[in-house]
Amino acid sequence: MHLSRRDLYKLTALGAAPVALAACSTSSNLENGGGGGAEERPIITTTANTGLAENFNPHSPSVISLIQGLIYETLFYFNPLEPIDQEPVPLLGESYAWNEDGTVLTVTTRAGAVWADDTPFTAKDVAFTFTKIRDTEALNAAGTAPSAEAIDDTTVEITYAEPSFTEGPNALARTWIIPEHLFADVDDLATYANPEPVGTGPFALDDFTPESYLLLANDKHWDEGKPAIGGIRAIAISGNQSATDMWLAGEIDYMSSAIPNLEEHVAANPDLSFTNSGISQMALMAASNPELGCEGPQTDVAVRKALYYGMDREQLSKLAFFDLGADISPSFGLPERDVDFIDPSIENAPWNAQPDEAKKVLEDAGYALGSDGVYAKGDVRVSMTVSCPTGWSDFVTALDTLAAQYKEIGIELIPQQVSVNEWNDAKARGTYQLVIDSVGQGPAPDPYYPYRNHFSTDNTVPVGENGNPYHNVTRFSDPEVDAALDAAAATDDPEVKKEHYFLIQQRLAEVMPAIPVMIGSSLTEYSSAKVSGWPTQDDLYAYPMAWAAPDNSMVLKAITPAS
């Protein structure tokens, strides 16, 4: 096991990922406070590795965990588990509005908030943040970052060069606001380590070592009565088993980790609980586009469709994913959250294998079953390699299971384990046949973001060139899909967006460059021995994953000392 595997590798640029929160006893009065509860002893979060880097710059790719959201805040918060039309939670922003053509986003900022050094927060800090990002080459490589101007102390205008409704959530919920009076003289925002962080958020840094760091409640935070807990200590733990043992021993309050037999553990200890908030859409990514240089039988739509129908997802969930997998749609909209934005003619992927349909698809396309038990057309055998990173036990088990399933229908699947670097390099350059991976979400709960990232021509490159391993690795390219994405980006009307999404979904279901597997589990574990108010399956008021920013700040602001 390893820590939040599929999500962690995508977040390595954000720093070590927290997996746990626990009690601790070191030198501070807070931590030694008479054996009391969370007001006196901090919640503690663990990080994935030892040797933490002292970097507190929320705009640095090497920033450590918990700085984003807990010290430096965004303007608003979008819960990725809520429907697309949700109203975001106001943070440093109070309201916002677009102009008619989607080029100017006007934000009313929070009056009365202060930085932790007592300097007033104003809209000028917001304008400064956007200007600093725009002027930092490493943070604005494409040159498309917006400009910003403070109209007065509580109004800022963020201006884009073209209609950019879908860029709004990046500005509103993924841009960490920094103080102009402390960052004005910083030469390179991308590399500055910010050794003495001063934010508006609910916590402030107290101490730091390469093994742990302590955040204490910021009594100057604008949200009255929050946080209710006294602090958070992040400690370095290198192994999933160690974190699990600490949670079971009552030493950890909050973590996101894959743990077998969770229900049994919870049943045995009334202080323990967990949530499963899966939004990670697993898929077999196929190097699918021969026009961009992809090679192999998986470039044939018929082969990809056979993989789709030949997969027994029920067995796969039981053997590889603790029986916690959920239905996935070939539209790559989330079946529950995005139900109103999924073409009703597109059904969820079949939960059980349909071997006859898989064979029919191949035979209709001219393939015949060979004497070796594998379908072939001419000299092309339906034999493909599929890879995942070494040690990612759930993916390893999934690929072994799929290989056995496909053998029964005349498809040879050859699982391979490679290093994460090799895996990413193959995806980036297109030098693979199949990989198992996840279709990530975006800054707001809108299918637009996975569609743009994973299926637009702008986000892919020919085989051999070095692309982004987290974007369009299938090399899918369709002018109609590109046009629909541009049209969706240029409107704020949900009904118009829906029309464009339906077109995209129909093409994805027809061509299937990514073969949907299932929605994986996203497990978060809690202990209520010291605090209450954790998210529950019935009240996921924030995406609960302990590594997710700024989601974890919403959770840590909401919890209260146990009575």
Residue of 60, 120, 116, 123 lying closest to 94 (CA atoms) = 123
User: Is there a contact between 412 and 383 (Cβ–Cβ < 8 Å)?
Assistant: yes
Q: Give 357-414 as a DSSP string.
A: HHHHHHHHTT-EE-TTS-EEETTEESEEEEEEETT-HHHHHHHHHHHHHHHTTT-EEE
Name the most confidently modeled range: 12-16, 189-193, 522-526: 189-193
pLDDT surpasses 90 at 184: yes
What mean pLDDT is predicted for residues 458-469? Answer: 95
Lowest mean pLDDT among 239-253, 302-316, 488-502: 239-253
Cα(542)–Cα(172) distance, integer angstroms: 16
Q: What confidence score (pLDDT) does residue 7 get?
A: 34
Q: What confidence score (pLDDT) does residue 521 get?
A: 87
305: helix, coil or strand? helix
Q: What confidence score (pLDDT) does residue 53 get?
A: 85
Q: What confidence score (pLDDT) does residue 404 get?
A: 98
For residue 225, count CB atoms less than 10 angstroms from its CB and return exposed for 0-12, middle for 13-18, buried for 19 or more.
exposed
What mean pLDDT is predicted for residues 171-178? Answer: 97
The residues of the chain that CATH labels 3.40.190.10 are 5-71+201-277+522-561
Please report, in angstroms and rounded to a whole number, the separation of the first and last CA atoms in the chain.
Answer: 35
Q: What confidence score (pLDDT) does residue 327 get?
A: 97
Amino acid letter for position 401: T
Model confidence pLDDT, tens digit, residues 66-81: 999 999 999 999 999 9
β-pairing verdict for 375-377 and 531-532: unpaired
Q: Answer whether the bond into residue 330 is a cis peptide, omega within 30°.
A: no
Cα(202)–Cα(220) distance, integer angstroms: 8
Q: What confidence score (pLDDT) does residue 259 get?
A: 85
User: What backbone torsions phi and psi does residue 206 show, to the nearest 5 degrees?
Assistant: -110, -50
| CA dihedral of residues 328, 497, 475, 144 (deg, nearest 10) | -130
The residues of the chain that CATH labels 3.10.105.10 are 280-520
3-state secondary structure 429-473: HCCCCEEEEEECCCCCCCCHHHHHHHHCHHHCCCCCCCCCCCCCC
CATH 3.10.105.10 is right for the domain spanning 280-520: yes
Q: Answer whether the bond into residue 227 is a cis peptide, omega within 30°.
A: yes
Cα(304)–Cα(515) distance, integer angstroms: 7
Give start and end residues of each alpha helix (H) in 208-282. Answer: 240-248, 262-268
Amino acid letter for position 151: I
Largest CA distance in the chain: 78
Model confidence pLDDT, tens digit, residues 117-159: 999 999 999 999 999 999 999 999 889 999 999 999 999 999 9
CATH number, span 5-71+201-277+522-561: 3.40.190.10
Integer CA distances (angstroms), 197 to 68, 70, 139, in order: 11, 11, 20
User: Is there a contact between 40 and 34 (Cβ–Cβ < 8 Å)?
Assistant: yes
Cα(178)–Cα(73) distance, integer angstroms: 8
User: What backbone torsions phi and psi does residue 245 show, to the nearest 5 degrees?
Assistant: -60, -40
What mean pLDDT is predicted for residues 272-289? Answer: 95
Which neighbouring-strand residues pair with 560? 532
525: helix, coil or strand? strand
540: helix, coil or strand? coil
β-pairing verdict for 89-90 and 76-77: antiparallel
Which single residue is written with the structure tokens 């406070």? 33
The residues of the chain that CATH labels 3.90.76.10 are 76-183
CATH number, span 76-183: 3.90.76.10
Q: Give 22-45 as a DSSP string.
A: ----SSSTTTTSTT--TTTS-EEE
pLDDT surpasses 80 at 563: no
pLDDT surpasses 60 at 1: no
User: Is there a contact between 186 and 192 (Cβ–Cβ < 8 Å)?
Assistant: yes
Model confidence pLDDT, tens digit, residues 47-68: 555 578 899 999 998 899 899 9
Residue of 513, 490, 557, 444 lying closest to 85 (CA atoms) = 444
Cα(21)–Cα(27) distance, integer angstroms: 18
Query: What is the chain's percent helix, strand, coil content, to nearest 5?
Result: 30, 20, 50
Which neighbouring-strand residues pair with 439? 281
Cα(297)–Cα(288) distance, integer angstroms: 9
Q: Looking at residue 490, what DSSP letter applies?
A: T
